[in-house]
A and B are shown apart, each in its own frame.
Chain A
């Protein structure tokens, strides 16, 4: 046998081996605590729902696993040089929906308008939009009411549907709960995403297969997974058991208490990272008198010294160690590190100092402390009730007697969002989907007027501060805008209506041959996943 023949044979063998590997069916069985609420891309604005939708549908611009903004169905965008209120999007060409229909400007106009319907839950992110118009097949203009430098940040979860498909299936409107019929888009999907829906049984199982015609395959993303089987498993112990027994490959919501054990299991891997969510306490600083305290005629929380004392009494390192088992990043500011405006100085948590805190309380005239009620959810954040219990103990040390009311999120959150709010001291968490401080200010620091301050139950807010916050929305000069952001942070850190506790951490557990990096928004995107040798 000649050398060339051997070489040829070897090359042939290698080639077959290669094709065999790339064409190999790679199924990933994925489990998490809850299911997506609906496949309708504009009906719900909720984490698990968006996470699943990102596999089937795509927005104009999206975030990669690190949280950077990357092109999606739009390849580029800019504001028109002569008109800052118009954003121009150039659309990706030669993209097809899963049913084979071509993607074009009509679909974008249709989808953005669908997301702005009164029954859509995505409308809150698009309130600045005045109109969406098609310029030509590959260009769309979005006109905003006044300049909006952050419009693109607001579009990362606004998915694009096929107009013709929606019309043919009578799904041009999002679910209206007055309507008793099920919308076709709730259990069926037709997107441009890297995976295509095969079957869906809500709360039981959702199967997706690889979209082999995906525009980014090979260039943007490896797309090695050929099939995804997504199963919600509610019980913590069962979810972990399913991973240990090899029935699933990837558990997204790993209970804190099981991380150590999974790390020590030979064929499993745990990846950890910070989440885009900060946990903190809100204090009612605005009321003349509090309903839930034992001080008559005045509001102890309105006194800055009291708030400083409380801030000092919280031992964040102890909470991280004992309650969170290391799974948190203590902080002094209520925005996650990914957000524009975040600095290490702001993030620095004050050192716990019970003596100084007691002295401050004395200066404020509360020599013997006071009593107050704290409201806490027990099924929303990681170990939320444990955090509250720990803080109750810490405040007890400086003489503030806290009566803890911990209850389900369905009861807790209305206390905060009701007008007037029905809590004086509450645990809350906040993620920043736009990755910009303005989002935090608008909902948590602006006084509660009109569309502002919807989640601000503290009664905090002054006309000057409100004006500054409102100015951010239209400021197109980035340097000037960032300076205003820094100014606002300085003021609110000094006023202290919120006591920051920590940034939440996420942990994903997988089999050894897959590594899934933690996604800042907890929106796992499996198209990025590459397998390591078996």
Chain B
């Protein structure tokens, strides 16, 4: 068990360094931050001086090693755009993204599993077919279009929900939450729907097909022959057996919910990390971009690790295998 954990941690660290390296080597294609930082009146000499002050005149390996060294000590530098330490920018933006991503993922998973099971059990029902058709829309429509459509309907026409921002937030320590105010909750509705919609349809379709598969398998037939009630078969036997692939997908999707939040956050002016990243790219704000990409990689690593542990909990065979390995 401990060996497994250690191995995962080392793998995670390697992934982080690799992501940092790839990201760093791509920054030169994003452009020159100095062009955005100096005024229109800057002379060639002014530009050269600033480039030197930022250390951008150094060769790539030195820039990268310096970044790694500082990052290992938790220092991600100062944002070129906002002149503030990147670590405090990230800490400030993190709560907004985490709340949005976690609630979207919860919404997608709960609604997705529920609807998936329903569509599998009542596979010929009218409602189930309607849900399946609607899910095609979710899979094929791009996120920003759903977002803009929702804004038009609920903000401009009906005026029920705010079109942008996070509403009022309450600070608990360094964490700012929008979950405790009415305007904060109202502001969450559309971004959560937008961000979670794709994941919802994906999970729903997956649960449905897995469920149909399991319902045809021998052990369900035997269970039915033994006279076990339908409810119990559906939820205790069948659903549990469909959960392994669903957990894998849902876990991986949590990572991409954080990554996809870029689009949703831009559409709704959600003050999270994704919006921070987009403005950073346009400004070629290298320290912020680097820190964000490493952060997203970190999220993926952690989520994958957590998914592995969830398998252990769900599948008893893996547990005994793991126990034997530890002897």
Contact = CB atoms under 8 A, between A and B. Distances in A.
Contacts, number: 163
Given A234-B266, A247-B163, A202 B156 contact: no
Contacts of B36: 409-410
B41 A45 contact: yes
Provide the main secondary structure of the chain A interface: loop
A241 B152 contact: yes
Most chain A CB within 10 A, of B32, B75, B84, B164, is at B164
B106 interface: no
B178 to A, nearest CB: 12
Contacts of B156: 241, 244-245
Nearest to A242: B163
A180 B82 contact: no
Contacts of A241: 148, 151-152, 155-156, 163-164
Interface stretch (A118-126, A209-217, A394-402): A118-126
A180 B163 contact: no
Interface stretch (A34-42, A317-325, A329-337, A383-391): A34-42
Contacts of B41: 45, 124-125, 443, 454
Interface residues on A, range: 35 or more
Most chain A CB within 10 A, of B30, B39, B83, B276, is at B83
Contacts of A458: none
Contacts of B275: 203, 234
B85 A233 contact: no
B85 A183 contact: no
Contacts of A419: 44
B133 interface: no
Nearest to A450: B43
Contacts of A68: none
A186 B82 contact: yes
Interface residues on B, range: 35 or more
A180 B75 contact: yes
Contacts of B148: 237-238, 241
A43 interface: yes
Contacts of A247: 155, 162-164
A410 B39 contact: no
A202 B84 contact: yes
Contact of A417 (B29, B44, B80, B92): B44
Interface in A236-283: 237-239, 241-242, 244-247
Nearest to B54: A177
Given A175-B78, A175-B83, A182-B83, 13 more contacts: A37-B81, A43-B83, A46-B39, A122-B39, A177-B50, A177-B53, A182-B78, A241-B151, A247-B163, A408-B30, A413-B32, A431-B40, A451-B45
Interface of B: 29-47, 49-50, 53-54, 75, 77-78, 80-85, 88, 92, 148, 151-152, 155-156, 159, 162-166, 266-269, 271, 275-276, 278-279, 282-284
Interface of A: 34, 37-38, 40, 43-46, 118-119, 121-125, 175-183, 186-187, 201-205, 231-235, 237-239, 241-242, 244-247, 379, 408-414, 417, 419, 430-431, 433, 443, 448, 450-451, 454-455
30 contacts: A34-B279, A37-B81, A40-B83, A124-B42, A175-B78, A177-B50, A177-B53, A183-B83, A203-B82, A203-B276, A203-B279, A204-B166, A232-B269, A234-B279, A235-B266, A235-B269, A237-B148, A237-B267, A238-B164, A242-B163, A409-B31, A409-B35, A410-B36, A410-B282, A411-B30, A413-B32, A419-B44, A431-B40, A451-B45, A454-B42
